[in-house]
Amino acid sequence: MSILVKEDTRILVQGITGDFGARHARLSLDYGSQVVAGVTPGKGGQVFEHAGKKVPIFNTVAEAAKQTGATVSAIFVPPPFAADAILECFDADLDLAVAITEGIPVRDMVRAKRAMAGRRTRLIGPNCPGLVTPGRGDKSSGGCRIGIAPGYIHKRGNVGVVSRSGTLTYEAVWQLTCRGKGQSTCVGIGGDPVNGTSHLDVIKLFNDDPETEAIIMIGEIGGNAEVEAARWIKEHCKKPVAGFIAGATAPAGRRMGHAGAVIGGAEDTAAAKIKIFQECGISVAVTPSDMADALLRIWKG
Amino acid sequence: MNIHEYQAKELFAQFGVAVPKGVAVKSAAEFEGALAKIDTAGGIMVKSQIHAGGRGKGTFTDGFKGGVKFSPTKEKALENAKAMLGNTLVTAQTGEAGRKVQTIYFTEAANLGKRPDGRDDEYYLAILLDRATSFPVIVASTEGGMEIEHVAHHTPEKIFKVHVDPAVGLQAFQARQIAFSLGFSGDLFKQCVTLVTKLYQFYWEKDCAMVEVNPLLVTKEGKLLALDAKVSFDDNALFRHPDVVALRDLNEEDAKEIEASKFGLSYIALDGNIACLVNGAGLAMSTMDIIQHFGGSPANFLDVGGGATKDQVTAAFKIILGDANVKGILVNIFGGIMDCNVIATGIIEAVKETGLKLPLVVRLEGNNVEAGKATLAASGLTIVSGDSMADAAQKIVKLVNNK
């Protein structure tokens, strides 16, 4: 098993006719992922073609899901319209909405997240690389790639990876793959202050997934999501966890104002988070080059 | 995006939040006219307008003390304003270089009320996003006029928080909770409920990142006033607020950061000597970290985004080279989707175009990386190749520190 998505998960792409969405829809098709529908309001009835594959385009998410059995959406809609696209997924009762879009206003996300309460749809992102469950073919092809991650760096295996950052996730995945260690699922939860799924949500899923034997959790400065996850890991997680926190050298106060520091408390600096990771039994990577090795110090695979 | 105090107060006034009357001007010729527009009988506050806190305790580079001054008479106000305008103010938040004061804000001085214990009757009020709940939170305290971090550390029981459910917005009972928690009654209670309600309306409708009023004060006449105002906006929402964008003051922003934003680069200057150029914010932050880990000191944060085109790399090099402290450059690109050979070609062209002479270490990883490394090696330029982030960081630190 894997978490959230499997090789045969049926994917629809919102914004498939835009440059960004089209490009990554093609890459997902090349990887062997089941991209079965596109959604662009007003372009229903058209067909997205790539390498001999024909993907029908619909006007609405509900129609796309009904006609094709798609259960997951990859959202590549521009920022002013992205929250609307997310809400449309909730309305269509999809399993999962993955919002790749960067630059969505915070207020839109505050409202969208509130609207998610009580709905069955899980949101990942926004401002995230998406997620990959590697396949078993050449260079992990045949897997489920939703979003913008490079597929070929993966390898099917037993390490779960969760991170806010895209390229830092690729760094960790590639280190694992180069050491012969594959991944169950790699999830980028996104770098925005308001996101649909937290580190802890993903850690719980990995903890319950029989295929996942070990976990790499990558965090950064700001907020307390990593700390919350670390404390839960200490109490409940049955699997070895390695972690890395980016931003030890980031200048304080560049993003956060006065009162933000009050809300965040003293636990949102890199040093504080690293200390809490260590106290919670997480093997901390000293540098970003050390992420896979930090895991291999406590897990032999 | 940040704005000046006077701009924030003009917006407050539009939304019905009570502020002292004031006029902002940009030249000494306008001083007299500005003072004629306000009631100066109770004295005037002369306030330097820069995007940094700690103005009152700041010192100008010519030795003049205080960026915010109470002036009992018009003559004194003119004298203070003349000393401040065009002068450079250094505060705890500006760094050593300080900021040039280009706008002076004259306001009617408020007649501060006193509490029974003799202290000034000052409060604190802020609205911002609580990341833990994804709800806006209103933070209030009876301890105004001081750093809220100090209050949070020493007397956390004096800080009150109310979370606002975005599905229904701020409710009347919540505004009352704030007013009760600050100990108000009678007419002041009503003023507080109104002020909190209007302030929240402003925060929400204008897509603010943070609104902070410190102090919020009660005058001897029993008026509740926002004496200071600090407002920042969510950059992602600026597209729907052209009126807010018009308030942007480029004088308050780093010229290199403005230039970078034109090329889709996210750049923040730091005070080290090893510049870095990276794709992705998380990788960029950790590249800074790894430079420091191996004994170097990062000169900047620079995220070129998902790609790394020749034009972007060239623009990035030019910005980096504008920092005289820079003694070496580390390029760290994980070209997941992009062809590393295309990136390598772009780097070579950028080196040639900018005539780069400083040590340059390039770490490429990802798609078609072998061809990319071969292209760099065949370029005839002295570009050092790093195999991993750790290897590249060690190489650039060594090159810079041995010079």
Residues B324 and B383 occupy one common structural domain: yes
A271 touches chain B (CB under 8 A): no
Residue A292 has pLDDT above 90, yes or no: yes
- In angstroms, the separation between the Cα of residue A134 and the nearest Cα of chain B is 15
Rounded to whole angstroms, how far apart are CA atoms A40 and A21? 11
**Which residues are B22's β-sheet partners?**
B107
CATH number of the domain that residue B306 is part of: 3.40.50.261
**Do residue B184 and residue B55 come from a single domain?**
no
User: Among partner residues B130, B301, B390, which is closest to A287 by beta-carbon distance?
Assistant: B390
Residue of A nearest to B302 (CA): A250
User: CA-CA distance, B264 to B206, in Å (whole number)?
Assistant: 25
Average pLDDT over residues A138-158: 96
**What was the pLDDT predicted at B381?**
87
Q: Are residues B143 and B79 in the same domain?
A: no
Helix, strand and coil content of chain B, in percent to the nearest 5, comes to 40, 25, 35
Which of B134, B212, B213 to probe the A interface (max A CBs under 10 A)? B134
What mean pLDDT do residues A220-226 have? 85
Coil/strand/helix, residue B44? strand
Report the pLDDT value the prediction gives residue B391, as an integer from 0 to 100.
Answer: 96
CB contact under 8 A, A194 and B131: yes
CA-based R_g, chain B, Å = 26
Structural domain for B283, as ranges? 255-401
Residue B294, in any domain of the structure: yes
- How many domains does chain B fold into? 3
Q: Do B97 and B140 belong together in one domain? A: no
How many beta-carbon contacts under 8 Å exist across A and B? 178
Same domain, B214 and B162: yes
Q: Is residue B227 part of a domain?
A: yes
A107–B288 CB contact, under 8 Å: no
pLDDT confidence tier of residue A115, bands split at 50, 70 and 90: very high
What is the DSSP track for A235-254? Answer: HH--S-EEEEEE-TTSPTTS
List CB contacts (< 8 A) between B292 and chain A: 248-249
pLDDT at A265: 54
Q: Which of A166, A193, A263 sits opposite B282 (nearest CB)?
A: A166
CA distance, residue B9 to nearest chain A CA (Å): 18
pLDDT at residue A34 is higher than 60 = yes
How close is the nearest chain B Cα to the Cα of A67, in Å?
31
Instruction: Please give the ipTM for the structure prediction.
Output: 0.91
Distance in angstroms (rounded) separating the CA atoms of residues B250 and B205: 24
B303: in domain: yes
A294 touching B, CB under 8 A?
no
Residue range A113-142: mean pLDDT, rounded: 96
Q: Would residue B132 count as lying in a domain?
A: yes
Amino acid at B69: K
Residue of B nearest to A107 (CA): B207
Can you give the pLDDT at residue A191?
A: 85
- Nearest chain A residue (CA) to B241: A105
Establish whether B212 is a catalytic residue.
yes
A91 interfacial to chain B (CB closer than 8 Å): no
B-chain CB neighbours of A249 within 8 Å are 270, 285, 288-289, 291-292, 298
Instruction: Give pLDDT, residue A257.
Output: 32
Domain boundary among B225, B245, B265: B245
- Domain's final residue, options B63, B83, B108: B108
Min Cα–Cα distance to chain B from A56, Å: 25
Partner residue facing A286 (CB), from B283, B293, B337 = B293
Does the distance separating the beta carbons of B236 and A103 come in below 8 Å? Answer: yes
User: CA-to-CA distance for A101 and A24, rounded, in angstroms?
Assistant: 13
Which of A24, A154, A199, A258 is labelled catalytic? A258
What are B230's strand-pairing partners?
A: B212
- Judge whether B334 lies within some domain: yes
Task: Say which of B123, B124, B200, B203 is annotated catalytic.
Answer: B124
Q: Is residue A78 within 8 angstroms of chain B, CB to CB?
A: no
The residue among B79, B108, B137 that closes a domain is B108
> Which of A109, A123, A114, A118 lies closest to A75 in space, CA to CA?
A123
In a domain, B117, yes or no: no
Residues 6 or more apart whose CB falls under 8 angstroms from that of B388 comprise: A289, B363
Give the domains, in start order, of chain A with CATH numbers.
Answer: 10-124 (3.40.50.720), 130-296 (3.40.50.261)
pLDDT at residue number B368: 86
In a domain? residue B7: no
Q: What is the mean pLDDT of residues A31-37?
A: 98
In this structure, the strands spanning B159-163 and A241-246 are: unpaired
Cβ-based neighbour number of residue B23 at 10 Å = 18
Q: Is the pLDDT of residue A154 over 50?
A: yes
Instruction: State the pairing for strand pair B122-130/B135-141.
Output: antiparallel
What pLDDT is attached to residue A253?
Answer: 59
Residue A265's contacts (CB-CB under 8 Å, 6 or more residues apart) are A224
pLDDT mean values, one per 10 residues, chain B (403 residues)? 96 97 97 96 96 92 96 96 97 88 96 91 95 94 88 89 97 98 97 98 97 96 95 95 96 87 86 92 92 95 80 88 92 86 89 91 90 91 92 96 80
- B290 and A287: CB-CB below 8 Å? yes
The pLDDT assigned to B306 comes to 67
Contact criterion met (CB < 8 Å) for A220 and B282: yes
More confident residue, B270 or A14: A14
Average pLDDT over chain A, rounded to whole? 93
State the average pLDDT over residues A122-137.
Answer: 96
**Residue from A154, A200, A263, A267 to probe the interface with B (highest B Cβ count within 10 Å):** A263
Nearest Cα to Cα of residue A27 among B274, B266, B342, B367 = B367
B99 and B230 both lie in a single domain: no
Instruction: Enumerate the residues of chain B whose CB falls inside 8 A of the CB of residue A161.
Output: none
Residues in A closer than 8 angstroms to B165, CB to CB, are 114
Can you give the CATH number for the domain in which B46 is found? 3.30.1490.20
Would B3 be classed as within a structural domain? no
A109 pLDDT higher than 70: yes
Confidence band (pLDDT; 50, 70, 90) for A288? very high
Shared domain check, B358 and B276: yes
Inter-chain CB proximity B279 and A167 less than 8 Å:
yes
Residue B198: CATH number of its domain: 3.30.470.20
Identify whether the C-beta of residue A64 lies closer than 8 Å to the C-beta of residue A43: no
Q: Please indicate, yes or no, whether residues B259 and B387 belong to a single structural domain of this protein.
A: yes
Tens digits of residue pLDDT in A239-277: 999 999 998 887 765 543 333 333 445 667 888 899 999
Q: Is B123 a catalytic residue?
A: no
Residues B311 and B339 both lie in one domain:
yes
Select from A163, A287, A290 the residue whose CB has the most chain B CBs within 10 Å, as the one to mutate to test that interface: A287
Q: What is the pLDDT of residue A256?
A: 31
pTM higher than 0.80 = yes
